[in-house]
Amino acid sequence: MGIIVGNDTRLVVQGITGNDGSFHTQRMLEYGTNVVAGVTPGKGGQVFEHEGHRIPIFNTMLEAAEETAANASCVFVPPAFAADAVCEAASAGMDVIVAITEGIPVLDSIKQYQFAARFGSVLIGPNCPGIVTVGECKVGIMPAKIFTPGPVGLISRSGTLTYEVVNALTEAGIGQSTCIGIGGDPMIGTTFLDLLVEFEADPKTECVVVVGEIGGSDEEDAAEFVREMSKPVVGFISGRTAPQGKRMGHAGAIVSGNKGTAESKVAAFNEAGIKLADITMQIPDLVKSVL
């Protein structure tokens, strides 16, 4: 068990015939994800084949949903069209939409966020590595071999740090329930707070790791909720040496004045009782200390 996706996920891959969509569809199928359809306008009626899997391709999300009872989508559509793809998925009734695409204009991201919220879809991303409920379902681009089943949930703004922390946990003999990369753009769908609420209610998750970074106030908002949680939380904040006014890495990782600084996030985590790692390799030992 885990959160957001699992054995009951029936996935559509939007942009399945592109290089990225094709490659990662193969990896998701190999993990055991139930990919039921692909969507590429103009290529409806074709079939995507991989190791005995035959995935029908449709021209629209509505056709894919009606024919396959799909309930989730993964977006590998170029930036200029990705927001429309998200909106199409939401209007077709997808419960979960994972937007992998990087470089979506901010105004488009605002539109897709509002559209997904209107239709009640959970939007993860954009510019994210996706989500894995370990042993059940992988949606996105995360490398499957680093995961092992267990009781630790993980939320991260950074894809690379997601992989680094998961790998460190696995090497330390600590398994994971669900791991999510929420993306580092200024406007994203699902936040730390949203996912902490989900993990708090998940009986299989006993501890949560939160990997944040400079910029924005999502980490501070999450820290307020952690005060009320019954489950322990371990944290890490990247970008502590970033100079003010400079973007370090993600588009959302920019510090303006006193807002979004590493110091403010560290202080919020400490006040909430979150055990805070100075470097990522300390995270497994901190997790062991609270489990």
Catalytic residues: 250
* CA dist., res. 257 & res. 283, Å (int): 29
Q: Report the amino acid identity of residue 71.
A: N
Q: Report the amino acid identity of residue 221.
A: D
Contact at 8 Å (CB) between 94 and 73? yes
DSSP 186: S
Q: Report the amino acid identity of residue 160.
A: T
* CA dist., res. 268 & res. 101, Å (int): 31
CA atoms within 13 A on the CB side of 239: 29
* CA dist., res. 91 & res. 85, Å (int): 10
* CA dist., res. 55 & res. 36, Å (int): 6
Contact at 8 Å (CB) between 55 and 37? yes
Contact at 8 Å (CB) between 153 and 179? yes
| Cα 24 from chain centroid (whole Å) | 15
Question: What is the C-alpha R_g of the chain?
Answer: 18
Both tokens of residue 278? Answer: 């100075």
Taking every pair of C-alpha atoms in the chain, what is the biggest distance, in angstroms?
56
